[in-house]
Amino acid sequence: MSFKGMRDGLNTQVQNEIYSSYLYLSMAAYFHSNNLNGFAHWMRLQSSEEMGHAMKIYDYIIQRGGRVQLKEIKKPPHDFKSVKEVMEKTLAHEQSVTQCFHELYEQAAKQKDYATQSFLQWFINEQVEEEAAVNEILQKLYLIADKSSSILYLDKEMKKRATSS
């Protein structure tokens, strides 16, 4: 089987991951503008992690003898109504990314591209963690509603995120 079909899908996923990085950097800027530096810190680490994912796929395409073809990255939104809205959009975005990886995995299975299936399994596992982390934050936001003192406490907790995976 030719790697070409998978290469095209993986190139699109590089674009998706770079967009994710750009989106989270935009969200970090929103948080910085509202003096929520803990949330900004969390989003900056998330942005960095997404760029790392893009590069992991980039390198895999090259290892398989494919050519990376970078695509246009659309402008992310930059105005948000609340912390809760940002995290809701983050969860929806992560769910969309998960769906993209599932589709790539299905394509690799149909093409009997076992190497790519194995490669993609890491991302599928990572997406479970990504969605769970964002959902945990979102559930806390639902519990505290719009209580500013609680949001400030959660902001302080968000700053404790040490590294991205």
pLDDT tens-digit series, residues 120-144: 999 999 999 999 999 999 999 999 9
Distances (CA, A) of 18 to 27, 56, 73, 133, 149: 14, 11, 7, 20, 34
Domains of the chain and CATH, by start: 4-158 (1.20.1260.10)
The model's pTM:
0.92
DSSP code of residue 66: -
- Walking along the chain (165 residues) 10 residues at a time, the average pLDDT comes out as 84 98 98 97 97 98 96 96 96 98 97 96 97 96 85 90 66
Amino acid identity, position 100: C
Structure tokens at 6: 């998978």
Structure tokens at 126: 């990572």
From residue 77, alpha-carbon distances to 8, 22, 31, 140 in Å are 26, 10, 13, 24
Would you state the pLDDT for residue 162? 78
User: Are the C-beta atoms of residues 137 and 86 closer than 8 Å to each other?
Assistant: no
pLDDT digit string (tens) for 25-44? Answer: 999 999 999 999 999 999 99
